[in-house]
Amino acid sequence: MFKIIRKEILNPSVSLIEVDAPYIARKAEPGQFIILRVDEHGERIPFTIADYDREKGTVTIIFQIVGQSTERLNELNAGDSLQDFVGPLGKASHFEGVKTAAVIGGGLGTAIAYPQAKKLHAMGVEVDMINGFRNKDMIIIEDLCADACTNLYTMTDDGSNGNKGFVTAKLEELISAGRKYDIVIAIGPLVMMRAVCELTRPYGIKTIVSMNPIMIDGTGMCGGCRVTVGGETKFACVDGPDFDGHLVDFDQAIRRSKMFAKGERRSREAHHCRLEGMDRA
């Protein structure tokens, strides 16, 4: 069992938990992920590692409530325990030779982009971080991101935080103003990552994206997390999650991402019905 040390509600649909997992914390690196089960009857669900503390022996994940499993996970609090917490899995990100970088997070993707920016910043890299949210109420970990980069730009679709626009508009503005990047890292919704890649392609800027498709075993055996990269089939759990964004078949990835949306919604609704039945009882 893995004890939850801390829980924080970041916005109405996103929560953070810090888990006591010293063996994972000892080896975790940005870009890697864990797979957990809430209890012995729960499904295996992957989460990219948002942070880790080797001294405390803890690993932090940030998750969005989208289905029954994340709903049940969100019902736990500090002091409760998870049945399984396995990792670190996947390949760690590598940034050798990088001197300037743009790290872009879209919505919940900000939680995954944060450790990338933090690692680069600690290496002495000049980091521009651009995060995008629908509105100011959805903004998460802004203070942490500010400490993990040279310049932070937080954008909102509706401008409710004073900075209206998409992350691509801010990135294009910075590039047009003469900013030179060795690498751009984009993490978030597939449509956002695709838009960033199309923006950087004509400039010839190396662009890395984090692919997080449906995943079951995390070892490359089930094939559920397959993505097409450069015309070849790759498995995000063992070949990634980081890939060259200019080679990813985003159209295919977007189609596959919608396969289980209805099932997730029905599962969450059924869970709510069970909880309401228990309350009435």
- Residues 168, 170, 174, 180: what is their CA dihedral angle, to the nearest 10 degrees? -40
Q: How far apart are CA 16 and CA 202, in angstroms?
A: 37
222 carries a ligand binding annotation: yes
183 carries a ligand binding annotation: no
Residue 232 lies in a domain: yes
Question: Which domain-ending residue is among 70, 89, 108?
Answer: 89
145 carries a ligand binding annotation: no
Per-residue pLDDT tens for 217-268?
Answer: 777 777 778 889 999 999 888 888 999 999 999 999 888 877 666 655 665 5
Per-residue pLDDT tens for 91-137?
Answer: 998 898 999 999 999 999 999 999 999 999 999 999 999 999 999 99
Neighbours of 101 (CB within 10 A): 25
Q: How far apart are CA 88 and CA 46, in angstroms?
A: 11
Q: Are residues 218 and 127 in the same domain?
A: yes
Please report, for the chain, how many H helices and E strands are present, in that order. Answer: 9, 16
Residue 154 lies in a domain: yes
Q: Are residues 138 and 177 in the same domain?
A: yes
Q: Tell me whether residue 241 is exposed, middle or buried, using C-beta atoms within 10 angstroms of its C-beta: 0 to 12, 13 to 18, 19 or more.
A: buried
62 carries a ligand binding annotation: yes
Q: How far apart are CA 193 and CA 186, in angstroms?
A: 6
Domain that holds residue 203: 100-257
Instruction: With a cut of 60, say whether residue 272 has pLDDT above it.
Output: no
Give the angle 171-144-176 at the CA atoms, nearest 5°: 10
* Exposure of 277 in the CB half-sphere (CA atoms within 13 A): 6
166 carries a ligand binding annotation: no
